[in-house]
C-alpha cells in the first residue's frame, strides 16, 4: 500500500486524520462523520473499518517522502526516521504538514503533552505566536450572555502558568479563533481575582501587564482586564466595579484565565453544574488546524469538534 496514492483523492470533503483509530469512540465517530458527509475521516489503525479509509502503518510501502521530511525537520538519522515515521502521531502530523490531509485530531489515548510536542515539532507555530494554547467552546443551557449562550474559555489544557507575554499571546490567538471559526466579534476579558486595581498582588500584576501587552499588539480588539468573572459577565456588576465598562465589561464572550488551575477547574464546574457542553480542547496557534481531545470525550463531541475545524478550513 502506497500512502501518498491513498491520500491524493480529494473527493469526499476535507480529510481529517485520526492517529488513534483503534479507539472505539473514534471508530464510532468516524462512521457517523462519513455517513453524514461532514468530512472524510482517515483512521490510522491495524483494524479495518467498513466504509472508512484506514491506514495500517505496518503494511505501508514507499514512505520515502514522509521519511525525508522528518529527517529535514529533525536531523534524525535515516534509520531512526524510518521507524519514527510509523508512529501514528508522527505519521498523522507529517500527512498534515505535507498537505495530504486537512486536519488532525488526537488525544483520547495519547496524552495532551504527546500531541502538543509532536505538533510543535512537525507542524510548527504560526509566526508571532510564542506558545501553543487551547480553548473550550462552552455551550451553556439557559445562559443568555456571551454569544447566544456560548463562551470561549482559554487556555484550559496547555499552559500551566503562562507569563504575561504568553497570556497576551493566548488572548490574541483566542480572539483570532473566535473571529475565524465562529465569525464572532471578539470581546476578550482577562480574568483575575481583582477588577482594575481592586486588589494588589504579583498574580494581579501578571494579568495587568498581559492586558497592556495585548492592547499594544492589537489595539483594534475589544479587550479588557484585569477583571473578576462577574465584572466580565454581568453588566450591572461591570457598571459598579469598572471605571468604564466599554465593549467588554458585562459582555465578554471570551474568558482568558490566568493559569491552568483556574481554567481547568472552571470549565469542568460549568460543564457539570450548568450541564454545559464543553467542546475541546481545540488547539490554536499552529500552522495547521488540529485538535486535542479530552480522555473522557464522547462520540458526539468528536463529531462537533470536526465540524468546528471544518468551519476554520472553509473560512
Q: Helices 24-35 and 299-314 meet at what angle, rounded to 10?
A: 50
Report d(CA 307, CA 313) in Å as an integer.
10
- Three-class SS state of 21: coil
pLDDT (tens digit per residue) in 234-274? 999 999 999 888 899 999 999 999 999 999 999 999 999 99
Residue whose cell numbers read 481583582: 194
Instruction: For residue 315, count CB atoms less than 10 angstroms from its CB and return exposed for 0-12, middle for 13-18, buried for 19 or more.
Output: exposed
Domains along the sequence of the chain with CATH: 3-124+286-314 (3.40.50.10950), 133-273 (3.40.50.10750)
Report d(CA 209, CA 214) in Å as an integer.
9
- Three-class SS state of 277: strand
Count of residues making up the chain: 315
pLDDT (tens digit per residue) in 229-243? 999 999 999 999 998
Q: Which residues, listed in sequence order, are joined to residue 26 by a DSSP beta bridge?
A: none
Q: What is the mean pLDDT of residues 83-101?
A: 93
Does pLDDT of 123 surpass 90? yes
Report d(CA 74, CA 61) in Å as an integer.
22
Report d(CA 30, CA 44) in Å as an integer.
12
pLDDT (tens digit per residue) in 126-181? 888 889 999 999 999 999 999 999 999 999 889 999 999 999 999 999 999 899 88
Amino acid at each position: 500500500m502506497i500512502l501518498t496514492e491513498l491520500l491524493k483523492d480529494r473527493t469526499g470533503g476535507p480529510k481529517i486524520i485520526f492517529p488513534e483509530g483503534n479507539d472505539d469512540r473514534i471508530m464510532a465517530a468516524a462512521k457517523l462523520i462519513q455517513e453524514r458527509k461532514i468530512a472524510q475521516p482517515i483512521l490510522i489503525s491495524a483494524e479495518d473499518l467498513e466504509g472508512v479509509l484506514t491506514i495500517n502503518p505496518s503494511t505501508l510501502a514507499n514512505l520515502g517522502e514522509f521519511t525525508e521530511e522528518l529527517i529535514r525537520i529533525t536531523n534524525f538519522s535515516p534509520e531512526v526516521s524510518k521507524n519514527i515515521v510509523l508512529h501514528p502521531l508522527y505519521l498523522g502530523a507529517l500527512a498534515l504538514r505535507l498537505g495530504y490531509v486537512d486536519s488532525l485530531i488526537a488525544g483520547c489515548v495519547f496524552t495532551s503533552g504527546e500531541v502538543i510536542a509532536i505538533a510543535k515539532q512537525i507542524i510548527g507555530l504560526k509566526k508571532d505566536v510564542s506558545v501553543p494554547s487551547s480553548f473550550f467552546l462552552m455551550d451553556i443551557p439557559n445562559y443568555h450572555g456571551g454569544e447566544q449562550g456560548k463562551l470561549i474559555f482559554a487556555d484550559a489544557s496547555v499552559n500551566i502558568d503562562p507569563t504575561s507575554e504568553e497570556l497576551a499571546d493566548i488572548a490574541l490567538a483566542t480572539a483570532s479563533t473566535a473571529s475565524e471559526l465562529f465569525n464572532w466579534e471578539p470581546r476578550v476579558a482577562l480574568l483575575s481575582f481583582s477588577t482594575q486595581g481592586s486588589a494588589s498582588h504579583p498574580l494581579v500584576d501578571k494579568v495587568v501587564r498581559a492586558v497592556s501587552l495585548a492592547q499594544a499588539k492589537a489595539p483594534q480588539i475589544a479587550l479588557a482586564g484585569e477583571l473578576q468573572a462577574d465584572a466580565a459577565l454581568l453588566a450591572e456588576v461591570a457598571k459598579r466595579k469598572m471605571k468604564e465598562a466599554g465593549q467588554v465589561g458585562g459582555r465578554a464572550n471570551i474568558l482568558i484565565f490566568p493559569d491552568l488551575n483556574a481554567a481547568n477547574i472552571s470549565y469542568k464546574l460549568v460543564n457539570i453544574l450548568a450541564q454545559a457542553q464543553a467542546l475541546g480542547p481545540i488547539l490554536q496557534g499552529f500552522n495547521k488546524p488540529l485538535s486535542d481531545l479530552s480522555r473522557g470525550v464522547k462520540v458526539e463531541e468528536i463529531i462537533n469538534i470536526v465540524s468546528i475545524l471544518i468551519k476554520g478550513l472553509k473560512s
